[in-house]
Amino acid sequence: MSASQSSSSAQAPPSDVEASRAKISEAKAQAFRHTLAKYDLNEDILQKIHDTFVEIAKDAGQIMKGAERKSLSSAAIKDNTTDLVTKYDKKIEEDARLRLHNVFPAIEFLGEETFGAGTVLSDKPTVVLDPIDGTLNFTRGVRYCAVSIALVLEKKPIIGVVYSPFEGELFTAIRGKGSHRTKMNDEGSVIEKVQLPLPEHYGRPMPNLKGCLLGFEWGHKREGPNWDLRTQVLIWLLAANGAMCKSIRTRGSCALDFCNVALGEFDAYWDCDAKVWDVAAGWCIVEEAGGIVASVNPGDWQPTMEGRVYFPIRKAEPEEQKAVVGEFWAHMGERRFQYGATGTLKDPEEQPKERKTWFSYFRASIW
């Protein structure tokens, strides 16, 4: 072997930047272990909780796939005709609650269907469950719906499991362990398991919104100041004299939209009407895939889980992530979406308001 070959085969010493990143990563890991210990948790217990979540999600998926289509047409209305609940939502949540209480009795539980007004997250370990995210899709036979389960500690998600039974896709994450997508066949056998983001998506340039494919959900509230602002921003994102992003996809499941950001299929996703059970699991999956979660309201790089305004961005160079968020914020200017935290304050939409036509949205000067 020549001297040059020997030199090239030797492992290069880490750069100052790499060494600094490794030092920061280890410091964060130590701090996380210390936080876990405060609540009598450790990495082995987290793995057990994660595995239990996966089994619960799979069992819930079997309930969803076995649902009687005729009974789905009689789904009950909650807030309005866009917000539905079925007997399967309720069964999945009750089964999960009882099972988790038997195995982890010290962990608190917050579920969409048993949520009570005034309930807020505490710092204690809490399971946050959406039994069927995308219930409207579920009732219509649209495959884009999922079970979403998270463990939240000190109001931050540390385990996330999202299972799409009709697509056979299981998304999982544990703080510090990365995110994964497992594809399964109809019998539940694993076809493949890959770490996120998918390699074909990571590394794609993301200099601005113009190059982005975005996810978005309309939510349930269809009038009021937040609705007006949301519609105006949506038009700006699409318009030739606005950001002119590649396109915007509206699929009907916030949890799976977060997972699409983690995959790298969506460059970003914005939502300003979701609840904590919609985002908790997906939030963990995005962050463990190298993404970030900012707020759609300018200046807030660390939104709260109950704040109702979310802007997850896929893994990219930090300056690219900041550029996309900054461009969105620059358009928002002094405007803000205003929601009460989940379960606490009334939303502005619940107050009397002036009705507007679709023409008024398009006529508004928003650029």
3-state secondary structure (DSSP) of residue 241: coil
278 is in an annotated binding site: yes
Q: How far apart are CA 88 and CA 62, in angstroms?
A: 11
Ranges of beta strands (E only) in 154-278 are: 156-164, 169-174, 178-184, 190-195, 213-216, 247-249, 268-270
Q: According to the annotation, is 133 in a ligand binding site? A: yes
Q: Which of 175, 242, 209 is nearest to 311 (CA)?
A: 209
Contacts of 173 (CB under 8 A, 6+ apart): 159, 160, 161, 179, 180, 262, 284, 285, 287, 288, 289
Q: How far apart are the first and last CA of the chain?
A: 64
**Residue 249's closest CA among 261, 262, 241, 239?**
261
Structure tokens at 341: 């935290």
Check: CB of residue 211 under 8 Å from CB of residue 175: no
Is 132 labelled a binding residue? yes
Is the alpha carbon torsion for 240, 242, 243, 246 positive or negative? negative
Helix locations, 212-344, DSSP H: 225-238, 254-263, 276-288, 318-332
Residues 6+ apart with CB under 8 A from 289: 173, 178, 179, 196, 197, 261, 262, 263, 264, 314, 315
Q: How far is CA 253 from the centre of its chain?
A: 9
In angstroms, rounded to a whole number, what is the distance separating the alpha carbons of residues 272 and 275?
9
**Tokens linked to 292:** 């970030």
Beta-carbon contacts of 156 under 8 Å, excluding residues fewer than 6 positions away, are 305
The Cα 258–Cα 235 span in angstroms is: 22
Known binding-site positions for Mg(2+): 112, 130, 132-133, 278
Known binding-site positions: 112, 130, 132-133, 278
